[in-house]
């Protein structure tokens, strides 16, 4: 229980504070639209969905602007969190960075921010559909009702109106007319379609199989936020003006609506629309995002030189590069663009070099159109030697921080990688090797448990050399226990199994060339955790 609280406590606290804030905002805006007399006639006109007091003085929560206001607060946090997720926190090794990483930003963004945002967006949209129907219906009601009188305001000169629907169109065409002729309707349709495309293209299947579709569709966020900012410019949510309230008390005058304007006690009420509010929530994060994009553009224009291209087994290539002023920490990642493949696409890759090396490198596994294009652009599809000047131009943005940077802050660490996902630990282990060779006494890190799971034997080949170097170095220094590595092969055929059995008794492993033998199947994590916890109490 204690471990669970330690691991999940901060995340749960953040979620509870977040949900509590949303409940507070929901209740606050309930009171804003339900209690003040300013929206008395708006509530009468639109009934239960728009809410508050109808002609019978019943009270109901104000759904449409209420959901919109809470959504505004969601937009602010989604803007900030999306930017945070995209950057993975640029400040390195700070307490602020550690705090933000704890709730696992991507999952936090998906579950805590987007889910309530979509729910409130659905409420907002559905409530507006009812509002439109109520407004259209009020225009065709029999004369003599309060709703008909309210809808007729504004038809004469110098009168303001409360019913935004200004034409007499019978149902059911009224709703479609509003959706495609009014600014609020058009922008509402556009931003809803943009959001649907963004969400559907963000599914795991689309991201992995059709990354370009995900990449380009995600940039509909520009249209989405432009639509949000101007969505309220039509001012369809209208309330009584302060000057009119001073002369016309709606809670008294609604009973004698047929005499409005005929007595000084109840002049014709005047109305005004609520000014657009979304821009106040969006402008700050959008300004920060624009600044960040400008910084990225400036950094991406700095010259990058590919010094070496190495073709590894398992459809993997290594790009070694140099860039003036480039500084990195272990396990960080960069965004890479190759204009010869695509002038718009940027793809993230973990750095596999160590900070102590005079170059930085990435390993790219060929699994899609873009990586295939990069493979061909670097001449890896050709047999002859490729001249350096023929290598493609590369733009690099970064590096950006990850949790791997904290590896040297602990005495004992556990590293787990699967397949090509081992790349951040290449950087970590290289840096450990350099630090250990230079000054092992000042190294806080005393023990590393390294786990690597692969389906195919070829995946081990490009990484085995590094492990062999580390193994030899530790043995020379009589500290073979410093690095404990466990390599698991999760897939093999009958021929391979026979080969493994025949060579099992040899001094070095038949697959990796290491003294530590490769294990087959998958680790029993419960046993692994218990064993390590037993060796390192606390």
409 in the same domain as 306: no
Alpha carbon distance 62, 33 (integer Å)? 6
Q: Are 276 and 230 in contact (CB under 8 A)?
A: yes
In a domain, 203, yes or no: no
In a domain, 288, yes or no: no
Checking if the pLDDT of 150 tops 80, the result is yes
Residues 6+ apart with CB under 8 A from 525: none
Residue 354 pLDDT class (50, 70, 90 cuts): confident
In a domain, 397, yes or no: yes
3-state SS track over 10-29: HHHHHHHHHHHHHHHHHHHH
Q: Determine the distance from the C-alpha atom of residue 17 to the mean position of all C-alpha atoms in its chain, rounded to a whole number.
A: 20
471 in the same domain as 438: yes
Domain that holds residue 350: 302-382+389-401
Residues 6+ apart with CB under 8 A from 325: 302
**367-402 as b/e: b if 16+ CB within 10 A:** eeebbebbbebbbbeeeeeeeeeebeebbbbbbbbb
- In this structure, the dihedral spanned by the alpha carbons of residues 136, 141, 147 and 153, taken in order and rounded to 10 degrees, is 80
408 in the same domain as 397: no
In a domain, 295, yes or no: no
Q: 89 versus 496: which is more confidently predicted?
A: 496
344 in the same domain as 308: yes
Alpha carbon distance 74, 76 (integer Å)? 5
State pLDDT tens for residues 231-285. 888 888 888 888 888 889 888 888 888 888 787 788 888 888 888 888 888 888 8
242 in the same domain as 99: yes
Alpha carbon distance 211, 220 (integer Å)? 15
107 in the same domain as 50: yes
Q: Are 349 and 383 in contact (CB under 8 A)?
A: no
For residue 302, what pLDDT is reported?
85
**Domain harbouring 421, CATH code:** 3.40.50.80
357 in the same domain as 342: yes
* Least confident range of 210-214, 448-452, 526-530: 210-214
State which of 214, 246, 279 marks the end of a domain.
279
141 in the same domain as 122: yes
pTM score, whole prediction? 0.64
Task: Give the angle 239-241-244 at the CA atoms, nearest 5°.
Answer: 125
For residue 426, what pLDDT is reported?
80
Beta bridge partners of 487: 452
In a domain, 332, yes or no: yes
356 in the same domain as 265: no
Of 113-117, 154-158, 425-429, 456-460, which one has max mean pLDDT?
A: 425-429
List alpha helices for 415-535, DSSP H. Answer: 423-439, 461-476, 494-502, 525-535
Checking if the pLDDT of 370 tops 60, the result is yes
Checking if the pLDDT of 480 tops 70, the result is no
Stretch 378-393: mean pLDDT, rounded?
Answer: 78
In a domain, 296, yes or no: no
Q: 176 versus 320: which is more confidently predicted?
A: 320
Please count the CA atoms within 13 angstroms of the CA of 115 that sit on its side-chain side. Answer: 10
Q: 155 versus 12: which is more confidently predicted?
A: 12
175 in the same domain as 163: yes
Task: Please tell me the total count of domains within the chain.
Answer: 3
For residue 515, what pLDDT is reported?
60
Average pLDDT, the chain: 76
For residue 40, what pLDDT is reported?
87
In a domain, 192, yes or no: no
**Domain harbouring 352, CATH code:** 2.40.30.10
Strand bridging mode 347-350 / 238-240: unpaired
State which of 248, 279, 310 marks the end of a domain.
279
Of 63-77, 169-183, 502-516, which one has max mean pLDDT?
A: 169-183
Checking if the pLDDT of 319 tops 80, the result is yes
State pLDDT tens for residues 30-63. 777 777 888 888 888 776 444 433 333 333 344 4
Per DSSP, the three-state class of 235 is coil
Stretch 483-494: mean pLDDT, rounded?
Answer: 76
346 in the same domain as 440: no
Q: 375 versus 455: which is more confidently predicted?
A: 375
For residue 462, what pLDDT is reported?
62
Residue 502 pLDDT class (50, 70, 90 cuts): low
Per DSSP, the three-state class of 218 is helix
State pLDDT tens for residues 454-467. 776 665 666 666 67
**pLDDT above 90 as % of the chain:** 2
448 in the same domain as 360: no
For residue 74, what pLDDT is reported?
45
State which of 401, 428, 463 marks the end of a domain.
401
State pLDDT tens for residues 196-228. 898 888 888 887 777 778 888 888 988 988 988
Sheet strands side by side (includes 333-337): 347-350, 333-337, 395-400
In a domain, 372, yes or no: yes
């Amino acid at each position: 229980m204690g471990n669970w609280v330690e691991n999940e406590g901060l995340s749960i606290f953040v979620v509870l504070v977040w949900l509590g804030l949303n409940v507070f905002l929901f209740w606050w805006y309930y009171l804003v639209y339900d209690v003040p007399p300013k929206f008395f006639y708006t509530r009468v006109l639109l009934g239960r969905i728009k809410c508050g007091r109808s002609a019978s003085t019943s009270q109901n929560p104000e759904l449409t602007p209420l959901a919109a206001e809470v959504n505004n607060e969601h937009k602010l946090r989604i803007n900030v969190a999306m930017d945070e997720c995209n950057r993975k926190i640029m400040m390195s090794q700070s307490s602020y960075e550690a705090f933000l990483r704890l709730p696992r930003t991507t999952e936090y963004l998906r579950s805590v921010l987007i889910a309530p945002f979509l729910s409130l967006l659905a409420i907002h949209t559905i409530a507006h559909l009812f509002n439109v129907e109520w407004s259209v219906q009020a225009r065709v009601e029999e004369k003599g009702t309060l709703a008909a009188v309210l809808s007729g305001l504004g038809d004469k000169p110098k009168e303001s109106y409360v019913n935004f629907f200004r034409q007499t169109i019978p149902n059911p065409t009224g709703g479609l007319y509003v959706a495609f002729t009014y600014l609020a309707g058009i922008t509402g349709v556009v931003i809803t379609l943009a959001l649907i495309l963004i969400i559907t293209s963000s599914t795991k299947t689309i991201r992995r199989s059709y990354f370009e579709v995900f990449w380009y569709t995600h940039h509909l966020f520009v249209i989405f936020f432009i639509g949000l900012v101007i969505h309220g410019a039509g001012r369809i949510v209208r309330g009584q003006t302060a000057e009119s309230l001073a002369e016309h008390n709606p809670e008294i005058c609604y009973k004698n609506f047929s005499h409005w304007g005929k007595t000084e006690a109840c002049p014709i009420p005047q109305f005004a629309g609520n000014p657009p509010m979304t821009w106040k929530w969006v402008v700050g994060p959008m300004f920060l995002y624009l600044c960040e994009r400008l910084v990225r553009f400036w950094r991406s224009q700095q010259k990058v030189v590919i010094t070496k291209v190495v073709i590894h087994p398992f459809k993997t290539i290594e790009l070694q590069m140099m860039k003036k002023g480039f500084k990195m920490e272990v396990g960080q990642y960069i965004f890479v663009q190759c204009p010869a493949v695509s002038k718009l696409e940027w793809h993230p890759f973990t750095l596999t070099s160590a900070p102590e090396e005079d170059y930085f490198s990435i390993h790219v596994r060929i699994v899609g159109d873009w990586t295939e294009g990069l493979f061909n652009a670097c001449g890896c599809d050709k047999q002859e030697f490729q001249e350096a000047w023929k290598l493609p131009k590369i733009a690099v943005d970064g590096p950006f921080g990850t949790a791997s940077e904290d590896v040297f802050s602990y005495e004992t660490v556990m590293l787990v990688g699967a397949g090509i996902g081992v790349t951040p630990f290449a950087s970590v282990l290289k840096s450990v090797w350099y630090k250990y060779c230079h000054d092992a006494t000042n190294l806080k890190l005393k023990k590393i448990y390294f786990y690597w799971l692969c389906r195919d034997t070829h995946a081990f080949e490009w990484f085995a050399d590094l492990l062999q170097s580390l193994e030899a170095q530790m043995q020379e220094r009589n500290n073979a226990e410093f690095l404990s590595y466990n390599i698991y092969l999760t897939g093999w055929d009958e021929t391979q199994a026979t080969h493994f059995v025949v060579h099992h008794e040899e001094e070095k492993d038949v697959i990796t060339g290491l003294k530590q033998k490769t294990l087959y199947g998958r680790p029993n994590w419960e046993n692994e955790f218990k064993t390590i916890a037993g060796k390192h109490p606390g």
